[in-house]
Amino acid sequence: MLKFSKKVTAVISAAALLASAFVFTSCAEEEDANDMLKRSGDKCTIDYTNETTGYSRGFESLKTRHYDAVCKISNTTTKNKASGDGVMGYIFALTQNSDKTYNFGLAGVRNNNGTVEGYVSYYKNIGAAYLSSGNNFADKNGILIGKTGCLAEEHDLTVHNVDGNDYSFVTIKSGAGTSFDVWINVVANDGSSEGRTGDAGSYTVSFHNGDPLRTTSALGSNTTYGEGGAAAVKTYTIPASDTGLSEMTLLDLGFYANVYGASSLKGTWELSDIEGEGEPVEYVD
């Protein structure tokens, strides 16, 4: 499969435990091991050069739980090449299992020689120690997804066939040059509220080349869009059968980056219309 590794950020809560079987505990020291991501509240930045020949990956999570949010990703590529310089990703629906492995959704974008490409995947049982290492996510034993004996799983929502090979990335925008802005709108569905009528426990993920002007009339309830908001370019649904949820649930959000070898990546993430607890807060060391 022609898939490049991807990287993650999430959310940890001081609130009550989930009604589900998931528990999340702070693993800040295991996340951004390469010190690539700088976060302040609902914003995160990267200005990083990978001087190695392999991937350099980063993961940074929030601390308060949320249903969802819109994430604006702005990217400036300093050395754009045919495969792109790396991925900037938005993490959502993050949970941690009893064995400390992670489950999460990830929507990522990259600049592939002026073409903005995106993907959406949902991961299960990812080893915490391998969030920032290797050329793809791995299970708790360090076995990469797709390799024999791996306990982790990936549901790739955007995979398609190109010349006989599976390829994860889809085109979001053409002719972007060396910089772009993309808005990723994640909606946690409850099955009945306006804008959230997908199956309860599922997530709808859409890519936009402008601000969708999302607004919410009640916390975690009806979601509407202002006049003139940018239409979705691509939309995907992560089913409840993947998340294991039967209702809209407060989970964790975050940021991810994967800088390809001998490449530089510079950009920002900014969350808006954050649904759930209060504003994201910093970890306390």
- How far apart CA 100 and CA 145 sit, in angstroms, is 17
Judged against a pLDDT cut of 90, whether residue 151 lies above it is answered with: yes
Q: Give CA–CA dist 130/70, Å, rounded.
A: 27
Residue 277 clears pLDDT 90, i.e. is over it = no
CB 56 within 8 A of CB 259: yes
Give the tens place of pLDDT for each residue, 116-127: 999 999 999 999
Instruction: Output the pTM of the full model.
Output: 0.87
Say whether pLDDT at 114 is over 80: yes
Question: What amino acid is encoded at 119 in this protein?
Answer: Y
pLDDT digit string, tens, across residues 28-71: 445 766 789 998 888 999 999 999 888 999 988 887 889 999 99
CATH number for the 28-276 domain, one of 2.60.120, 3.30.870, 2.70.98, 3.40.50? 2.60.120
* Total count of residues recorded for the chain: 285
